[in-house]
Structures are given as structure tokens and as C-alpha cells.
Amino acid sequence: MSNEKLTAPATNRFSPRRAFLFASPFLLMGAVALLLMAYGVLTRQLDVRAAKHLLTILVVCAGLSMVIIGWFAGKRPKPSVQLKASHPGQPWRWREDWTHDRADNSVRPAIFFLWVFVLFFTVISLLAVWMVCRQARFGSPAAWLGLIFPFIGLAVLGFAARTTLAWRRFGRASLAATALPARPGGVLAGEIHVPAALRPEHAFYLRLSCVRRTTALRGKQRVTTERTLWQDEKWFRPNLPQPAAGATRLPVFFQLPAGLPDSTVEGRDGVQWRLEASAKVSGPDFHGAFEVPVFKPADAPPAALSDGAAPPATPVPDAAPDPTLAWQLTLDEVRKEIRSRIQVTDKPGGREILFPAGRNPGFATGAAAIWLIWTVTVILMVRWHAPILFPVVFAAVDVLMSLFLLDLWLRRSLVLVTPAQLKIQTAWLSFKKETVLAVADVASLKADIGATAGHAAYYDLKIRTRDGREFIAAKFLNHKPEADWLIRQIAAALKRP
């Protein structure tokens, strides 16, 4: 018998004790710096120079503490030693919830880390306001600048409070699957159980994603990135039949493509299959996230991957019928829900599809905010005479971000399909680019994931010719049902399957 100590089954609960244990030295140093600053303020013996030194110590200690606590908060639960020993070679049975064909909500660790950030930002904001107001005259630009921090702090605090209320109301939600693990080429079916009556304003939204998480060493820093390999989504009507009052059941049925990799159970890096559900309701909005195990049969050959690329996601020929179709929104209702501005028009000469500029204001506004912060950082580096390498590197990245932002706001695409040719016209204000393809040269149409924002995928509509060339007809399509529908519209105009 192995001498390895058996432990209790692992759960999805995040233990703050270990995080605080590792972060305690930095928390203690930061607390001492904070107490010294408070004592100096009360006794009026703290000058600006000493305050800057103590503030630097506080920021460094708080930042390191956040990194450590965030690392533990983002760490996936370890497989249970007991379950691992009982089910060798069956990683889909190494978690307590999975053994009961269930996946628990995994939102709680993120909420804990959010409050750590709120407390950190609140302390830094108060100190910054004190220093700015002490050095600046009342009514001066610097004093007004210092007043920005409390307003930002209030907004962050409100967001954290609303998120916490949502967790208290919906945190015990779970996915009750028909059978786990799901298999590539099979289906993920079941119900999401929510211990609260949900009455959404418009619809229930479900999204299943296959995400690869990779941590790489860049210089002296470890950088973690997530790449969405595949994603699908469903929209359900708000009046779903419910079996009992005070509870909500959301149907789940997703056809999984063959050829995608299995779930990774151990370690931070690897492949994660994530099911998310959300709805806008009165009070805090509902949001749940569930990690589900996906494994191919033992006798299936492993998928060949190179350089982290995604394998071809081929659908199953004998796909099972979707029993949830009766409760799903129609495509027109989905397009109304997402406020789509894409226009499809049948004209005497053929079918025209217009992709207007700035059609994703949410995505573009978020990118603009990041660009603005980055640009201000570059300006401050130049103004404060930082070592030349830093502003040069940051400025080069800023140029790339600027081009991406201009593409988001200004790119306008027009696809015209006639019996003889397919014309793609792309314009940025007065600059235009036009591509004309003969219908006989078109080999395939597809919608590939081109960019991601958080867990949301944005699709590029691509046209491949028989000689291997590939053209992008439109970019940043933010919902898969609409992207697939546009593919069908072009294919129908081409009279191709």
C-alpha cells in the first residue's frame, strides 16, 4: 500500500488561509507602513518626503500581496488524493462534484480577489488624495485631479458589492449533467440548477468554451495567456417552464466538435472546458461558471497538436437533435437582443451584406480605454526622462494598439455576391481596398475566432479559394449564431452547401 497520505476530497472552494499565510510577511510590512503614515498624519509630523517613502513601501507590499493572493485565487483545485487513488487513469473522477455528474459554480475565488483589490485601491486612493491636497492649493488642477480617486474608488466598491450580492444569491448554482465526462464529438447535456427564481428582462444566455491556458517566461516575468479554441452559445426565452417555485432550471445541450483536446485536470496550465450562464434580472445580475470534464474514449487516437495550435474542430456527422430548440430564441430575436447593425439585402444583381464601422461599441470602448492608459504612460515616461529603452518599446506597442483601435472604429466592409463573382470591399474612411473572386474559385467559407475580450470570442468571416489563398470578408463578429447565419447567407447566394 502506498504511504501517501489520503486527504478529503477536493472541492471548488478557495481557502483564504493558505493565501494569507504566504502573503502575511508583505501584509505585515504594509500594515506597519500604513500605521506609521497614520501616526504621522495625526501628529502632523509626517513630511511629504517620508510619506513618499512609506507610500512606496505600502504600494510594493500591497502589490506583492495581491499577486500572491490572486495566484491562489486563480489556482484550480487539486485533484483529491483519495479519488485519484481510487480511480487511476480516470481524471474525470478526481473531483468530488464530477463523481456525481455535477459541476459546482466557480465564481467565489474571483469575488474574494476582487475585495482584496478594492481594499488595496481604497487605501492607495486615500493616501494619494492626502498627498495631492497637501501639496496643491484648493481649486488647483492638481487638487481636482486628486478628487478623481475617491470617485473611482466608489465605483469599484459598488461593483464589488453588487458582485458579492450576486454570489450570495446565486453562488450555490450547479450544473447537473446527464453524464460526465462529455466526449469530443458527443454532447454536453443536463440542467443548471439555480436556488432562486430568475425572471430575466430579455433572455437566458449560455456559452460553452474550450480554452487553452499557457504560462510562459518572458524576460524575468511569467506571463499567462488564454486562447479560446472553440466556443458555442445558446439564447433561451425568459419564460422557461420551471418545476418548482423559488428555483430555476436552465436546459443545457451543446454538440461538441470532434478533434478538440481533452480537459487538463492538474496544474494551472492546460485546456479547460468552461460553461457560463448569465441573465439580466432585477437586482444583481445572474452569472455562473462551471468547469466540465471533457475526455475522448480511451481507444481514440490522441489529437496531434503543434505549437499550441487548435486541431480542426470537425462536427459529428450523426449529430443528435437538440431537445432545447423549442425554448431557444429565433435568429431574428437574437440579432435584436445583441443590437446587430449588420445588414443583409437581396438586390437584383445579387446579395449584399454590409458590415458598418464601429458596430461593436462595447469592445471598441474598452480597447480605447486601455489604449488611453497606455498612451498616457508613454507620455509620462518621455516627460520624466525614463531610460530610452522603456519609452521606445512602449511607444512601439502603442502604435500597434492605435492601429488596432482604428480598425475597430473605422473598418467598414461590404460583401456583394452575384452569380458570377464575389466582391469584398473594405474601407477605412476614404481609403478603400477591393477584392474580386470568381464564384468558381471559392472553395470554402468559415468563421474563425480572431480576437477575444475576456471570455467572449469575436469571429472573422474568412473565404478560402481553391488555390489556398484566404481572404477576410469581415472582422469582429461578436456572436457565433450570427456568424454562422452569415456564412449560410453567402453560401446560399453562391448556391453552395
Q: Answer yes or no: are the C-beta atoms of 271 and 211 closer than 8 Å.
A: yes
CA-nearest of 202, 191, 282 to 239 is 202
Give the CA-trace dihedral at 236, 239, 243, 246, to 10 degrees: 110
| pLDDT tens per residue, range 113-166 | 677 777 776 766 666 666 656 655 555 555 555 566 667 667 777 878 887 888
| pLDDT tens per residue, range 84-109 | 778 788 888 888 888 888 898 876 65
| pLDDT tens per residue, range 341-361 | 999 999 888 899 999 998 888
Distance, in Å, from the CA atom of 275 to the CA atom of 189, rounded to the nearest integer, reads: 11
Q: Answer yes or no: are the C-beta atoms of 227 and 211 closer than 8 Å.
A: yes
Distance, in Å, from the CA atom of 91 to the CA atom of 83, rounded to the nearest integer, reads: 9
Task: Tell me the percentage of the chain whose pLDDT exceeds 70.
Answer: 69
Split at pLDDT 50, 70, 90, the class of 12 is very low
Task: Return the residue matching grid coordinates 481594499.
Answer: 119
| pLDDT tens per residue, range 419-467 | 888 999 999 988 999 999 998 899 999 998 888 877 788 899 999 999 9
Distance, in Å, from the CA atom of 99 to the CA atom of 62, rounded to the nearest integer, reads: 39
Q: Which domains does the chain have, with CATH numbers?
A: 16-97+106-170 (no CATH), 172-296 (2.60.40.640), 354-494 (no CATH)
Split at pLDDT 50, 70, 90, the class of 487 is very high
- Identify the pLDDT of residue 21: 54
Tell me how crowded residue 234 is: count the other CB atoms within 10 A of its CB. 25
